[in-house]
Amino acid sequence: MSQIRELGYKDLPLGGKILDAGNSENYETGGWRTYVPVHDAEKCTNCLLCWIFCPDGAIFVKDGKWAGFDLKHCKGCGICAEQCPPKVKAITMVKEEK
Amino acid sequence: MAKTLGLTGNEAVAYAIMQINPDVMAAYPITPQTALVQKFADFLADGDVDTEMILVESEHSAMSATVGASAAGARAMTATAANGLALMWEIVYIAASNRLPIVMPVINRALSAPINILCDHSDTMGCRDTGWIQIYSENAQEAYENTIQAVRIAEHPDVLLPAMVTQDGFIISHGMEDVTILEKEQVQKFVGEYKPHYPLLDPEHPVSYGPIDFHDFYFEHKKPQVDAMENAKQVILDVGREFSKLSGREYGFFDAYRMEDAEIVAIMMSSTAGTTRPVVDELRRQGIKAGLLKLRVFRPFPAEEIVAALQGKKAVAILDRAISFGAQGGALFSEVCSALYNAGQRIPVINFLYGLGGRPAEIENIQEVYQKLQRIVQTGKVDNLINYLNLRE
Ligand code: SF4
Ligand code: SF4
């Protein structure tokens, strides 16, 4: 990301085109966040609803279990916290101090 | 062999487009452009072109379809005038910013209100900052030849910018003249095969057009557009030189008519130059050193070249066929003034706003321009910076 950010106008593709597929990963949207999701592993049932609903694919899953947030891309929308079942509520949104 | 036909400006440009044979033409009718697209539709119906013609429901869609076709990898064109161009506005910027080398004839017409279908330059002058190359034509012959050259200029790898080719509504678009038409093969050879830059329809190399761009990249994406405009200057001259081998006519940034030893000069664009030539000739017969600088290329603006052509002149009048409300005179006036100022030239200049909504600019009106210049030379004083030609008080 930081490398892309440093590119000068002479190094960018013409007309703002993106010349390679699937490179949105290189664009770190984590900086847009105001609230950061905080996960409580004690409460989590690994239902993975949060993973299904996260619009940015910012939730890691390993061996069928919740495995962390990708904070480079998480925009802090809070959808994961909203989707986590009411009786579980394993995710809380916390104001992020920068 | 070239042949001479009686053609209107609209028909001449339709001939040019037929001979270019673009992949896609998307257009919506608007006076005074309608006859152009109609003539092109005749060529299509007669099987003279294999263009995909898209009939759309508005100019916004015409420009959008042209942008889509161009991004897909097609040599795409459209044509419009006045309010049609105004309706395209949003996509006019997008065409330039996506670096799509679309060529668009624009038949200059006044913008509403009050509604008026006759000529002035408010439409194209209004989008002088959109990032399009702008080439103004004096007559049907030039409109034909500028359209063909515009394809090469726009598509040049150092440029990749869209280009408008204008002609004066009705005065040229509906007036019939002798126009010398090249052979289709000559035009085909001149424009060559279109090699699109990262087209969408290339599954081997998938690309995205028009992604979102914030404070972090937008500015960096604008500067190359500035540079491409600058590059266009050399390309315009090179293409003009190459084309003159076919047509025998010279094409540069402007036509300097009797300028060499001229003392008083009028600068203008398009058909009014045709009215001005005999005025200059008559003044010359009377021993008055009058000259005419007819600007062909407004974007990119050839500032240095204009300054060089005005070197040592005693008084200059700049004629604008569009008002820039609240500005210090017309846009052409402002451009010429800042070019002179930046070059440290202090030549007395005056501005004439003229020809709005089709108001005629006749021989006697142009004579008035040169009389005013003569008075400035005699008195050494500019009493009125901004003047209105042929306006009732
Ligand atoms: S806050 Fe939004 S972006 Fe971040 S992990 Fe949750 S759902 Fe995804
Ligand atoms: S929705 Fe809640 S319970 Fe389900 S995996 Fe995500 S954090 Fe765990």
Each residue of B76-106: pLDDT tens digit?
A: 999 999 999 999 999 999 999 999 999 999 9
Confidence of residue A1 (pLDDT cuts 50, 70, 90): very low
Task: Give the structural domain span for B269.
Answer: 254-388
**Domain stop point among B196, B226, B247:** B247
In a domain, A63, yes or no: yes
Q: Examine residue A2 and state whether it is found in any structural domain, yes or no.
A: no
Please report whether residue B28 resides in a domain.
yes
Structural domain includes residue A10: no
Nearest by CB to B224, which of A7, A9, A20?
A9
Residue after which a domain boundary falls, among B221, B247, B273: B247
Q: Is 90 exceeded by the pLDDT of residue A2?
A: no
pLDDT for position A98: 65
Question: How many Å lie between the alpha carbon of B213 and the closest alpha carbon of chain A?
Answer: 8
Note whether residue B216 is domain-resident.
yes
* Banded pLDDT at A21 (limits 50, 70, 90): confident
What's the confidence (pLDDT) of residue A65? 97
pLDDT range class, residue A24, cuts 50, 70, 90: confident
Residue B222 token pair: 């604008």
Token pair 């690309």: residue: B207
Is the residue at A57 inside a domain?
yes
Enclosing domain of residue A65: 28-95
pLDDT at B8 > cutoff 50: yes
Q: Is residue B327 part of a domain?
A: yes
What's residue A3's pLDDT? 59
B302, B233 Cβ separation under 8 angstroms: yes
Q: Which among B247, B269, B290 is the end of a domain? A: B247
Based on the fold, state whether residues B233 and B320 are members of the same structural domain. no
Judge whether A65 lies within some domain: yes
pLDDT of A4 strictly over 80? no
ipTM (interface pTM): 0.83
Alpha-carbon separation of residue B197 from B65, B90, B99, B288, B332 (angstroms): 18, 22, 9, 52, 33
Give the best residue of A5, A7, A14 to mutate against chain B (max B CB count within 10 A): A14
Contact list in A for residue B216 (CB cut-off 8 A) is: 5
- Is B393 within the bounds of a domain? no
3-state secondary structure of A86: coil
N- to C-terminal Cα distance for chain B? Answer: 53
Alpha helices (H) in chain B, listed in sequence order? 9-20, 34-45, 59-72, 82-97, 122-126, 140-155, 184-191, 218-247, 272-285, 303-310, 331-342, 363-379
Q: Tell me: pLDDT of B254 over 80.
A: yes
Same domain for B275 and B235? no
Q: Which ligand is nearest to the CA of A90?
A: 2
Q: Domain of A82: which CATH number?
A: 3.30.70.20
Q: Ligand 2 — pocket residues by CB below 6 A? A: A 39, 44-50, 66, 83-84, 88, 90-91
Atom of ligand 1 nearest to the CA of A36: 1
Assess whether pLDDT exceeds 90 at residue A23: no
Residue that the structure tokens 């190094």 belong to: A11
User: Does A3 reach chain B within 8 Å, measured CB to CB?
Assistant: no
Closest CA in chain B for residue A6: B216
Helices B140-155 & B184-191 angle (0-180, nearest 10): 30
Q: Is residue A71 part of a domain?
A: yes
What's the pLDDT at B48?
98
Mean pLDDT along residues B248-254: 96
CB within 8 Å: B160 and A15: yes
Q: Closest ligand 2 atom, CA of A43?
A: 3
Q: Which residues pair with B108 in a beta bridge?
A: B168
Q: Which pLDDT tens digit goes with each residue over B109-137? A: 999 999 999 999 999 999 999 999 999 99
Counting residues of chain A whose pLDDT is more than 70, the rounded percentage is 94
Question: Whole-number mean pLDDT of chain A?
Answer: 92
Structural domain includes residue B237: yes
Distance A83 CA to ligand 2 centre (A): 8
Ligand 1 centroid to Cα of residue A19, in Å, is 28
- Record the tokens describing residue B135, joined without a space: 């080439």
Q: How many domains would you assign to chain B?
A: 2
Asked whether residue B196 is domain-assigned, the answer is: yes
At residue A5, the pLDDT reads 67
Q: How many domains does chain A have?
A: 1
**A14 CB within 8 Å of a chain B CB:** yes
Q: What is the CATH number for B131?
A: 3.40.50.970
Q: Which residue matches tokens 């986590």?
A: A84
